[in-house]
Amino acid sequence: MAALKDIKRKITAVHKTKQITRAMNMVAASKFKAAQMRMENFRPYAVKFMEVLNSLALRVDAINHPLLAVREPKRIRVICMTSDRGLCGGFNNNLIKAAERFVREKLRDGQEVSVIPIGRKGRDFFRKKTKVLNARADVFGKFDMSLAVRISEDIIPPFISEEYDELYLLYNEFVNVAVQRPSVVRLFPLPSIGRAEEIEPGKRLDYIYEPSEGIILEKLLPMYMHVLIYRALLETFAGENGARMAAMDNATRNCEDLIQSLTLKYNQMRQSAITAELMDIVGGTEALAKG
């Protein structure tokens, strides 16, 4: 009977776990819907911003802007965006592994590498592994463009003052609920500003600028950094909640399978116990009859 009580206790515990995973799935689903809407609404703005900025850069000598300066890459900084919380499948592990490979490659090339973690999971991992700068955690609860501006303020002045030579952004690009693809984007020097091949022929428009093109470009380049970083934040947040939805859905189904398995085992053991008791009763009855 002790074994039956243990199995029943396990069934009760798995039922409680199932309630938790189902609730977490519902919470992630509600957050995901809002996050996906924000991300999809922002994507066209980011694409159009890039088109306008490229068209503007073609009209001026953009190569002289400090944010476009190309130097020998001796010192590298890497922004790694992860989530603040776990229980989202391989969302963080896949990105951290990709970031580790990237950092190792740069170190093998003899370059000095520093990591700027955005998100608690990345911060906790990299502060034990490599040099960490300007780490930020607990940022994905509620954020807006001001977060991207603050991150940009940590990276733009050091690049202009030549404290480092290249900056890369690693984040999970959102594909769908089940797929988040680790992506690497070079931020500094900006790779595609002022290149005619980056603009589709049908979209090469000419604009009238006031004030001059050079002054506007100087203002727009930092804003472009804000756009890139904010888009990555939105993709990360949507991907995290999509991954958590899928993970909690799998966990709920696993709980259901485990409950079914334990219930079957419980019934089998209970039936065996009843059969044994019946055999004892029948044996005792026969013994009394013979006596």
Exposed, middle or buried, 29 (CB in 10 Å: 0-12/13-18/19+)? middle
Domain that includes residue 82, residue range: 35-246
User: Does pTM top 0.95 for this prediction?
Assistant: no
Check pLDDT > 50 for residue 196.
no
235 within a domain of the structure (yes/no): yes
Q: What is the CATH number of the domain that holds 281?
A: 1.10.287.80
pLDDT of residue 59: 66
Co-location of 85 and 193 in the same domain? yes
Structure tokens, 52: 């306008």
Q: In the predicted model, what is the mean pLDDT of residues 271-275?
A: 84
Give the lowest-confidence range in 25-34, 36-45, 49-58: 49-58
Check pLDDT > 60 for residue 195.
no
Co-location of 213 and 241 in the same domain? yes
6 within a domain of the structure (yes/no): yes
Co-location of 61 and 102 in the same domain? yes
> In this predicted model, what pLDDT tens digit does every residue of 129-171 receive, in sequence order?
899 999 999 999 889 999 999 999 999 999 999 999 999 999 9
78 within a domain of the structure (yes/no): yes
Residues with Cβ within 8 Å of 106's Cβ and at least 6 positions away in sequence, in order, are 76, 113
29 within a domain of the structure (yes/no): no
Residues with Cβ within 8 Å of 109's Cβ and at least 6 positions away in sequence, in order, are none
Co-location of 82 and 186 in the same domain? yes
C-beta separation of 81 from 180 below 8 A: no
Q: How many angstroms separate the CA atoms of 192 and 217, rounded?
A: 14
Q: How confident is the model at residue 188 (pLDDT cuts 50, 70, 90)?
A: confident
The per-residue pLDDT of the chain, averaged, comes to 87
Q: In the chain, what percentage of residues exceed pLDDT 70?
A: 89
Q: How far is CA 153 from CA 138, 160, 189, 192, 195, in A?
A: 19, 11, 16, 21, 26
> In this predicted model, what pLDDT tens digit does every residue of 213-247 receive, in sequence order?
677 778 888 888 899 999 999 999 999 999 999 99
Q: In the predicted model, what is the mean pLDDT of residues 29-57?
A: 86
Q: Which residues pair with 236 in a beta bridge?
A: none
- By DSSP bridging, strand 166-176 and strand 75-81 are parallel
For the chain, how long is the longest CA-to-CA vector?
Answer: 117
196 within a domain of the structure (yes/no): yes
Exposed, middle or buried, 158 (CB in 10 Å: 0-12/13-18/19+)? middle
Domain count of the fold of the chain: 2
Co-location of 116 and 11 in the same domain? no
Q: How confident is the model at residue 100 (pLDDT cuts 50, 70, 90)?
A: very high
219 within a domain of the structure (yes/no): yes
DSSP per position, 104-118? HHHHHTT-EEEEEEE
pLDDT of residue 291: 60
